[in-house]
Amino acid sequence: MSTAEAGRATPEAGGTVPSVWQLTLLHARYQLIETFRVPIAVIGTLVFPALALLFFVVPQRAVADNPVYATQAVISLSVFAVMSNALFTFGLTIAENREKPWDPYLRTLPAPGIARVLAQILSTGLLGLAAIIPVIVVGGLFTAAEASALRVLAGLVALAVSAVPFMLIGTAIGYAMPFKAAIAVIQIVMFGLAFIGGLFLPPVLFADWLDTISKFTPSRQAREFVIRAVQGGPLEWWVWVGIIVWTAVMLAAALVLFRRDEGRRYR
């Protein structure tokens, strides 16, 4: 080895190397900075659910003053917040990364793939949490919604679990289409799932046929799952079966689309 190289680290002794956890935080940090630099991109996710609660639920005292209904309304809009956040961050990030060569560049840096996946989940999770907090605050202050701290915690865990199908749907859309198409499709999917899933209007108001369709949607299943976690009561079989089926189907779809994408991009 020449003297010029002596000052440089050797491959065997590369100095201190950031841990996977440090690299996860690094990636999550800059992903969040990038997201917040275009505030309009997050404002919908962060503000819309709380505003919907404030304008559509709080003035209806029949709902707002009933602890059971009010709690269900708060949960519905929390599910909506988590769903729109998961669909948008996964769908748009992936669609954008496919069109921009920054992501392949990051893959040449010495960070294992797991750090980048964990960072995506972490930043999405933090944004989701940030979107739920205003909903819970508005619900707690202006409605009769109520739950013990332990139940709220159970609800958050249930929300995290039921967010998985939405992350995978976002992933599939991100790999299936270009960025501009993804924005439009995600909006349609998001509002469609929100209405049919009973996140805006409670399913008790649905006609029978709509209620039947509703039970097949991941949004309705997520809503029921979180309601049971917070309010207790028996968990109907179609709720957890539905979540598992959606997760399996969308995971398979996301993998197929991911492979097809690699094939096309690298030809």
Name the phi and psi angles at 66, rounded to 5.
-100, 115
How many residues in the shown chain lie near other proteins by CB under 8 A? 37
Q: Cβ neighbours of residue 170 under 8 Å, at least 6 residues apart?
A: 86, 87, 88, 89, 90, 91, 92, 94, 186
Please give the structure tokens belonging to residue 238: 């179609």
Tell me which stretch binds other proteins (CB under 8 A): 48-56, 95-103, 181-189, 213-221: 95-103
Tell me which stretch binds other proteins (CB under 8 A): 31-39, 183-191, 216-224, 231-239: 31-39
Single out the residue of 117, 41, 51 nearest to residue 80, CA to CA. 51
What CA–CA distance (Å, rounded) separates 28 from 22?
10
What CA–CA distance (Å, rounded) separates 215 from 129?
26
Answer yes or no whether residue 28 interacts with other proteins by CB under 8 A.
Answer: no
Give the one residue of 40, 55, 62, 101 binding other proteins; rule: CB under 8 A.
101
Sign for the CA dihedral angle at 148, 127, 228, 60 comes to positive
Tell me which stretch binds other proteins (CB under 8 A): 6-14, 120-128, 144-152, 221-229: 6-14
Give the one residue of 104, 178, 192, 232 binding other proteins; rule: CB under 8 A.
104
What CA–CA distance (Å, rounded) separates 217 from 239?
10
Give the one residue of 40, 62, 108, 150 binding other proteins; rule: CB under 8 A.
108
List the x/- string, 113-132, binding to other proteins by CB under 8 A: x-------------------
Min separation Cβ 236 and other proteins, Å: 45
Which residues form the interface with other proteins (CB under 8 A)?
1-2, 4-9, 11, 14-18, 22-23, 26, 30, 33-34, 37-38, 100-102, 104-105, 107-113, 263, 266-267
